[in-house]
Amino acid sequence: MRETRRMTFWDCNAGFGRPCVGTIERCDSADDLLAEMDWVGIERALVWHTLMRDQSPVVGNAALAQAIRGRERLIGSWAILPPQTGELPAGEAFFRSMAQDGIRALWALPRLHRYRLTRSTFGGFLDAVSERHIPLLLRREVGGDEPGDSYDLVESLCSAYPELTVILTGSGSWGEDRLFRPLLELFPRLYIELCHYELDCGLRELVGRYGPERFVFGSDYPASAMGGAFMLVRGAELTWDERQAVAAGNLQRLLGEVQL
């Protein structure tokens, strides 16, 4: 019999702001996002701003910090850029800014922002991110020459920075687990967000093999429907404790490890 205890959800991948291209629905502001979270039943979310992606982290990071100020349910994330360009604060100044603005995670968007996510580019900066246990989120980006491009990037990054906490977002079904399963076995600090893993009994099988602690809930809202990802976890054939770990517990633990 399914337990009736209330389940808590923390979304690791939700955003707001007017995008350059269409989404499933508009979500222009932080208040719009909170309204959607209330409607679906999401308690808290790790959020990004469209300007971080479509314009520049220089503009978007500041816009995100301003927009979520005073909204405790929205936890901030910033996008990074190569230190060599001097576009963002360097070294300790960057981490002080994160602490002041309540930022607890970072995004790397190398295809959108035109850089190589390598040790030759980021050097000691990502060492410092690793030491502070700050999660680095990556999008499973489409448009590469081969389907495995995003996973090759994850493998090279985790090999260069084995202590780095990495969350890969956007992994889908249609056999993509053949790409990320070997990485889960190689890199214990790698976590998978499964907003598009719409496979019958798929989450049950993954959790049965790798445990619930390697997966985090995320919706990719507003590019995708928040409720779809919610129901994927809520209805999974797992124990209540396993579903709760995926729904919120794992993200709570990772964010609780952050040292700023």
CATH class of 10-256: alpha beta
Tell whether the model's pLDDT for residue 231 goes beyond 70.
Answer: yes
| Mean pLDDT computed over 73-91 | 96
Band the pLDDT of 23: cuts 50, 70, 90. Answer: low
Average pLDDT of every residue of the chain: 90
Give residue-wise pLDDT tens across range 148-162: 578 899 999 999 999
Q: What mean pLDDT is predicted for residues 183-200?
A: 90
Nearest to 31 by CA among 74, 92, 85: 74
pLDDT value of position 18: 75
Strand order in the sheet with 190-193: 10-16, 44-49, 74-79, 103-108, 136-139, 166-169, 190-193, 215-216
Question: In terms of DSSP bridges, do strands 44-49 and 190-193 run parallel, antiparallel, or are they unpaired?
Answer: unpaired
Q: What is the pLDDT of residue 147?
A: 47
Domain ranges of the chain: 10-256
Phi, psi of 228, deg, nearest 5: -65, -50
Q: What percent of the chain has pLDDT over 90?
A: 71
Secondary-structure breakdown of the chain: helix, strand, coil percentages, each rounded to the nearest 5: 45, 15, 40
Q: Residue 145 pLDDT more than 80?
A: no
206: exposed, middle or buried (C-beta count within 10 Å: 0-12, 13-18, 19+)?
A: buried
Give pLDDT tens digits for 204-225: 999 999 999 999 999 999 988 8
- What is the mean predicted confidence (pLDDT) over 88-117? 95
- Residue 3: pLDDT over 80: no
- What confidence tier does 76 reach under pLDDT thresholds 50, 70, 90? very high
Give the model's pLDDT for residue 143: 44
Displacement of CA 67 from its chain's centroid (Å): 19
The single residue listed with the structure tokens 């797992």 is: 238
Residue identified by tokens 């929205």 is 74
